[in-house]
Amino acid sequence: MLEIKNLSKQIDGATIIENINLEIGGKQLIGLIGRNGTGKTTLFRTLANYYIPTTGTCTIDGHNPTKETDYREDIFYIDEQYNPLVKMSLKKNIELYDLAYLKFDAQFAFDLVRKTQLPLNKKYRQMSKGMQALFKIILAVSSNSKYILLDEPFDGLDVIVKKNAISVLLDGLEHSESSIIISSHQLPELESIVSRILVLRDHTIVRDYQLDEARITNRKVQIAFADGQIPTLISEHASHIEQNGSIILATFNNYNAGLKAEILALSPVVFDELDVTLEDVFTQELKNKSDELVA
């Protein structure tokens, strides 16, 4: 179990992450979402021991990898800013990671490189951004580390490379017992593979929920009334409302049969229930008033 307790990190006197508390364990794919500059990369660097926490702890099965270095390989993270292997070939990278990580499966890595037709003898820095992203995922899932941190793995990838990256990621999860935490702004891709979502805002985790459970209680309803107005019932219960003409799109965080019956009792002329997407969650949780366009 990865236990994060009251974790905070300050850099040059500025608070980047603050009072983060999480428990992560078992085979699962977790999405980490947040606005640009909210501290996602800093959180990953702190968990991976690139940074020393200002306060708080991160332990693995009760052990602190900051002090007990044998546990550091239980967390896998590649930081491009500090990656010393960019001048080496893919083959050499795999061989070195095989030496560095006791559980690293070099054969699995070589198999994935061949499956994705990456140039094994080409230097990492000579490859395209898409190829580099694909190779980093291959290294990660071949590590067999208990906890794998992927920072924007789909950023800037074309559709074909993105599909290959997701395929490799799912192959890797099948191959291991890892918890894989993915920070990404590619919300449709993230939504298609993760089961749990962490929302980072104002330096800390403000929401932690299972997607399946959220889809049950969180709903969008497209409605319209003869007078074109938004009823008080809707404005009081909806967490987010958009109106285009007479059509109202209301999002409810605690939608249930009782609330549905109350809305129907108002005799709407349009009533359609819609699934809430991860993009909806991102907008509701992370949109600021300053994001509103000024007419």
Specify the length of the chain in residues. Answer: 295
Residue 288 domain-assigned (yes or no): no
Residue 264 domain-assigned (yes or no): yes
Residue 283 domain-assigned (yes or no): no
Same domain, 19 and 117: yes
263, 223 Cβ separation under 8 angstroms: yes
- CATH number reported for the structural domain that contains residue 88 in this entry: 3.40.50.300
Residue 45 domain-assigned (yes or no): yes
Residue 55 domain-assigned (yes or no): yes
Cβ-proximal residues to 91 (8 Å cutoff; 6+ apart), any chain: 120, 121
Reading the chain (295 residues) residue by residue, the pLDDT tens digits are 999 999 999 999 999 999 999 999 999 999 999 998 899 999 999 999 999 999 999 999 999 988 888 888 999 999 888 787 889 999 999 999 999 999 999 999 999 999 999 999 999 999 998 999 999 999 999 999 999 999 999 988 889 989 999 999 998 888 889 999 999 988 888 989 999 999 999 999 999 989 888 777 888 999 999 999 999 999 999 988 999 999 999 999 889 999 999 999 999 999 999 988 888 877 777 766 445 544 3
- Tokens representing 148 are 């794998």
Helices (runs of H) and strands (runs of E) counted in the chain? 10, 13
Residue 223 domain-assigned (yes or no): yes
pLDDT of residue 291: 55
Strands (E) in 195-276, as ranges, are 196-201, 204-210, 219-224, 240-244, 247-252, 270-275
Q: What domain range includes position 73?
A: 2-213
Same domain, 108 and 174: yes
Same domain, 88 and 53: yes
- CATH number reported for the structural domain that contains residue 243 in this entry: 3.30.70
Same domain, 170 and 238: no
Same domain, 153 and 102: yes
Same domain, 7 and 105: yes
pLDDT of residue 295: 36
Same domain, 196 and 270: no
Same domain, 152 and 233: no
Using alpha carbons, list the distances in angstroms from residue 249 to 79, 239, 261, 274.
41, 11, 17, 10
Same domain, 227 and 158: no
Strands (E) in the chain, as ranges, are 2-11, 14-24, 28-34, 55-60, 75-77, 147-151, 179-183, 196-201, 204-210, 219-224, 240-244, 247-252, 270-275
**Structural domains of the chain, count:** 2
- Tokens representing 238 are 């909806």
Render pLDDT for 21-61 as a digit per residue (tens, 0 to 9). Answer: 999 999 999 999 999 889 999 999 999 999 999 999 999 99
In whole angstroms, give the CA distance from residue 252 to residue 238.
Answer: 5
Same domain, 197 and 99: yes
pLDDT of residue 288: 60
What is the DSSP secondary structure assignment for residue 79, as one 8-state letter? -
Residue 286 domain-assigned (yes or no): no
Residue 108 domain-assigned (yes or no): yes
